[in-house]
């Protein structure tokens, strides 16, 4: 299509059309502005109701505080903090609304009777402050962020937390991000006065809602500590139901959902427990047996009436005793660590100690576990158990163990089967391939109770030549020598040899142990 030059008159018409289009785009419909007025009126009613409700809640919290300062102080101080923060933010937002209206209507502007409701510059000037220093919009955002973080920290209900965070969200919308606008710009840039003041009124409504939720939560927290529950039951909580003769039986008599600011009266066998005992009942255990404990807890209700909650419990007095057992066996072996368990019924392990006679050492490992290490065979190993009862040490038991030497270990040839499992060959038939895959002779005590490795220091293998003559091959250490390996390779199926004079070193020294017979399979 040909490019026809435009006359000056046509250019002027086009320019006027562009200007008219822009003016139409900037013009805000009177219906929309009237809609903001309707929303503003609705918000005013909501704000008024919220203010009345929060004033009542704060007054109730204050009344609780004056009636029972000790019990409610922590919640009252939190309520006072949130009330002060809310009022400060509310008044700040109110001052911003006034500033915007005065920017549009002049210094006599009335927030309840706005003249220039369609003014698009007033909110820019007040909230975004081009060339006026600190931006009120930015300041408002920071104030809101601090406020909501404080508020949600005082509420445990995650649903209510999420509502408050959404209501007071200061993150720009996706469309604002696309236009590279921050939160305050997306809210107040080119915004008519009617819309800007309505948005600020909504913020006031949201912070009053948040304050109300916190005050409700704080009042509920006070109620948690009251006796206003659906079930109250008395309990006897003893330090232990089993008591060593001569020691003290101690028990706390308590009431579930107890109010620490109202101490109940406790009667045991029709006798009042002294209030200064704070519910602690003690009696000396003089004889062995089972003893009942009966009584009731009496509380005074808010109307002056009394309510009794009975309880019944018993405790058992036992003779001094202890449990001392060897975890591996009923005897102790010299020169090795023998695990021992020591306990006293009714007492924690920290209150129990033990000592041994002069034949070796007894070492604690914690949680009732000990290690006994006898020094020599033939002398008894005596364990004495002492328990701390009522602040004094008392011997509760002694036990004597016989000390035996370690049994002889057994020699074996260690090899891996076709699945890679490690096997121990202690005599009999063995294939030549498995025999040659082994490095030498090992020794250990492995009888189901003890599992103690010994170090082989030397051994002899006796082979037999074709004439039946014995051919001994001696080596030091635990590995087969080259000469022993050569002899093994020459053996045919059915031939045998003996591993003898095996010397093994264990915890108690060196000894010579039994031989083993190997038949080539």
Give a yes or no: residue 7 inside a domain. Answer: no
Specify whether 24 is located in the same domain as 121. Answer: yes
Sequence-separated (6 or more) residues with CB below 8 Å from residue 8: none
Tally Cβ neighbours within 10 Å of residue 186.
17
Average pLDDT over residues 514-520: 96
Q: How far apart are CA 56 and CA 225, in angstroms?
A: 22
Distances (CA, A) of 245 to 205, 242, 323, 331: 70, 10, 16, 30
**Per-residue confidence (pLDDT) for residue 230, from 0 to 100:** 47
Tally Cβ neighbours within 10 Å of residue 517.
13
The Cβ-side half-sphere exposure at 163, using a 13 Å CA radius, reads 14
Average pLDDT over residues 189-216: 88
Distances (CA, A) of 387 to 151, 397, 398: 53, 9, 12
Higher pLDDT, 506 or 104: 506
Query: 326 with 340: CB under 8 angstroms?
Result: yes
Element (H, E) at 512: strand 509-513
pLDDT of 224 strictly over 60: no
Q: In which band, very low, low, confident or very high, does the pLDDT at 288 lie, cut at 50, 70 and 90? A: confident
**Per-residue confidence (pLDDT) for residue 208, from 0 to 100:** 92
Domain final residue pick, 197, 224, 251: 224
Helix (H, G, I), strand (E, B) or coil at 206: helix
**Per-residue confidence (pLDDT) for residue 195, from 0 to 100:** 83
Q: How far apart are CA 442 and CA 449, in angstroms?
A: 19
Specify whether 346 is located in the same domain as 379. Answer: yes
Average pLDDT of the residues of the chain: 83
Sequence-separated (6 or more) residues with CB below 8 Å from residue 110: 101
CATH number reported for the structural domain that contains residue 286 in this entry: 2.60.40.1930
Across 46-60, 119-133, 223-237, 326-340, least confident range: 223-237
Give a yes or no: residue 3 inside a domain. Answer: no
Q: How far apart are CA 412 and CA 421, in angstroms?
A: 16
Average pLDDT over residues 6-15: 48
Average pLDDT over residues 175-196: 85
Closest by Cα among 128, 228, 234, 143 to 185: 128
Instruction: Quote the tokens at residue 473.
Output: 């091959």
What interhelical angle do 136-152 and 193-224 show, nearest 10? 20
Higher pLDDT, 158 or 300: 158
Specify whether 335 is located in the same domain as 283. Answer: no
Give a yes or no: residue 489 inside a domain. Answer: yes
pLDDT of 486 strictly over 90: yes
Query: 229 with 70: CB under 8 angstroms?
Result: no
Give a yes or no: residue 1 inside a domain. Answer: no
For 159-175, write each residue's pLDDT tens digit. 888 999 988 888 888 88
**Per-residue confidence (pLDDT) for residue 1, from 0 to 100:** 39
Specify whether 314 is located in the same domain as 329. Answer: no
**Per-residue confidence (pLDDT) for residue 269, from 0 to 100:** 83
Give a yes or no: residue 250 inside a domain. Answer: yes
Sequence-separated (6 or more) residues with CB below 8 Å from residue 261: 68, 70, 71
Specify whether 260 is located in the same domain as 344. Answer: no
Specify whether 398 is located in the same domain as 459. Answer: no
**Per-residue confidence (pLDDT) for residue 256, from 0 to 100:** 63
Specify whether 24 is located in the same domain as 152. Answer: yes
Average pLDDT over residues 85-102: 91
Number of structural domains, the chain?
4
Q: How far apart are CA 51 and CA 169, in angstroms?
A: 22
**Per-residue confidence (pLDDT) for residue 10, from 0 to 100:** 47
Average pLDDT over residues 415-437: 93
Specify whether 121 is located in the same domain as 53. Answer: yes
Closest by Cα among 324, 396, 403 to 360: 403
Sequence-separated (6 or more) residues with CB below 8 Å from residue 161: 152, 155
Domain final residue pick, 404, 430, 449: 404
Specify whether 93 is located in the same domain as 144. Answer: yes
**Per-residue confidence (pLDDT) for residue 240, from 0 to 100:** 63
**Per-residue confidence (pLDDT) for residue 278, from 0 to 100:** 80
Give a yes or no: residue 13 inside a domain. Answer: no
Specify whether 49 is located in the same domain as 124. Answer: yes
DSSP assignments along 414-479, one per residue:
EEE-TTS-EEEE-SEEE-HHHHHHS-BEEEEEESSS-EEEEEEEEEEEEEE-TT--EEEEEEESSB
Q: In which band, very low, low, confident or very high, does the pLDDT at 6 lie, cut at 50, 70 and 90? A: very low
Sequence-separated (6 or more) residues with CB below 8 Å from residue 498: 461, 462, 515, 516, 517, 518
Domain final residue pick, 404, 429, 448: 404
Specify whether 327 is located in the same domain as 314. Answer: no
**Per-residue confidence (pLDDT) for residue 35, from 0 to 100:** 61
Distances (CA, A) of 297 to 132, 268, 380, 406, 425: 71, 9, 56, 63, 73
**Per-residue confidence (pLDDT) for residue 340, from 0 to 100:** 92
Give a yes or no: residue 74 inside a domain. Answer: yes
| pTM above threshold 0.75 | no
Query: 194 with 118: CB under 8 angstroms?
Result: yes
Give a yes or no: residue 12 inside a domain. Answer: no
Specify whether 278 is located in the same domain as 393. Answer: no
Q: In which band, very low, low, confident or very high, does the pLDDT at 374 lie, cut at 50, 70 and 90? A: very high
Strands 441-446 vs 451-464: parallel, antiparallel or unpaired: antiparallel
**Per-residue confidence (pLDDT) for residue 438, from 0 to 100:** 95
Q: How far apart are CA 395 and CA 385, in angstroms?
A: 6
Which of 67-71, 262-266, 491-495 is the most confident on average? 491-495
Q: How far apart are CA 435 and CA 461, in angstroms?
A: 13
Distances (CA, A) of 34 to 123, 253, 277, 292: 18, 69, 72, 81
CA geometry: angle 386, 389, 391, nearest 5 deg:
110
For 430-472, write each residue's pLDDT tens digit. 999 999 999 999 999 987 778 899 999 999 999 999 898 999 9
Query: 221 with 255: CB under 8 angstroms?
Result: no
Q: How far apart are CA 64 and CA 81, in angstroms?
A: 16
Q: How far apart are CA 459 and CA 480, in angstroms?
A: 9
pLDDT of 285 strictly over 90: no
**Per-residue confidence (pLDDT) for residue 241, from 0 to 100:** 60
Q: In which band, very low, low, confident or very high, does the pLDDT at 229 lie, cut at 50, 70 and 90? A: very low
Q: How far apart are CA 431 and CA 447, in angstroms?
A: 26
For residue 270, what are the domain limits? 234-318
pLDDT of 387 strictly over 80: yes
């Amino acid at each position: 299509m040909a490019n026809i030059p435009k006359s000056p008159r046509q250019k002027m018409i086009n320019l006027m059309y562009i200007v008219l289009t822009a003016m139409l785009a900037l013009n805000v419909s009177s219906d929309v502005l009237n809609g903001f007025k309707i929303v503003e009126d609705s918000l005013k009613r909501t704000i008024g109701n919220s203010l009345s409700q929060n004033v009542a809640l704060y007054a109730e919290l204050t009344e609780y505080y004056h009636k029972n300062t000790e019990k409610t102080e922590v919640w009252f101080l939190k309520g006072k903090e949130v009330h002060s923060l809310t009022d400060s933010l509310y008044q700040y937002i109110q001052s911003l609304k006034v500033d915007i209206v005065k920017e549009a209507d002049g210094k006599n502007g009335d927030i309840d009777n706005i003249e220039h409701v369609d003014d698009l510059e007033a909110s820019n000037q007040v909230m975004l402050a081009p060339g006026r220093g600190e931006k009120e919009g930015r300041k408002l955002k920071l104030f809101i962020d601090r406020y909501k973080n404080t508020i949600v920290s005082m509420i445990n209900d995650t649903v209510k937390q999420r509502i408050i965070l959404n209501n007071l969200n200061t993150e720009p919308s996706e469309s604002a991000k696309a236009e590279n606008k921050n939160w305050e710009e997306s809210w107040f840039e080119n915004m008519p006065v009617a819309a800007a003041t309505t948005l600020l009124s909504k913020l006031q409504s949201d912070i009053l809602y948040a304050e109300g939720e916190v005050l409700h939560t704080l009042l509920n927290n006070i109620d948690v500590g009251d006796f206003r529950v659906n079930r109250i039951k008395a309990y006897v909580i003893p330090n232990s139901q089993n008591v060593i003769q001569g020691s003290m039986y101690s028990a706390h008599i308590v009431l579930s959902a107890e109010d620490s600011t109202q101490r109940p009266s406790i009667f045991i066998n029709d006798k009042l427990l002294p209030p200064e005992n704070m519910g602690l009942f003690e009696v000396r255990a003089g004889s062995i047996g089972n003893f009942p404990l009966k009584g009731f807890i009496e509380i005074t209700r808010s109307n002056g009436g009394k309510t009794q909650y009975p309880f019944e419990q018993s405790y058992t007095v036992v003779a001094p005793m202890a449990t001392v057992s060897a975890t591996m066996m009923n005897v102790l072996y010299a020169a090795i660590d023998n695990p021992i368990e020591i306990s006293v019924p009714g007492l924690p392990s920290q209150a129990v100690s033990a000592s041994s006679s002069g034949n070796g050492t007894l070492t604690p490992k914690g949680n009732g576990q000990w290690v006994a290490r006898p020094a020599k065979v033939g002398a008894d190993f005596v364990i004495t158990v002492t328990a701390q009862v009522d602040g004094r040490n008392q011997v509760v038991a002694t036990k004597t163990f016989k000390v035996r030497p370690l049994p002889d270990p057994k020699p074996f040839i260690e090899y891996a089967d076709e699945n890679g499992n490690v096997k121990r060959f202690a005599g009999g038939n063995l294939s030549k391939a498995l025999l040659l895959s082994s490095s030498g002779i090992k020794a250990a005590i492995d009888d189901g109770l003890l599992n103690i490795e010994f170090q082989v220091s030397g051994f002899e293998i006796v082979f037999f030549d074709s004439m039946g003559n014995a051919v001994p091959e001696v080596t030091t250490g635990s590995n087969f020598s080259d000469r022993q390996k050569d002899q093994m390779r020459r053996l045919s199926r059915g031939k045998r040899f003996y591993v003898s004079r095996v010397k093994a070193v264990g915890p108690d020294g060196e000894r010579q142990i039994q031989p083993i017979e190997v038949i080539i399979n």
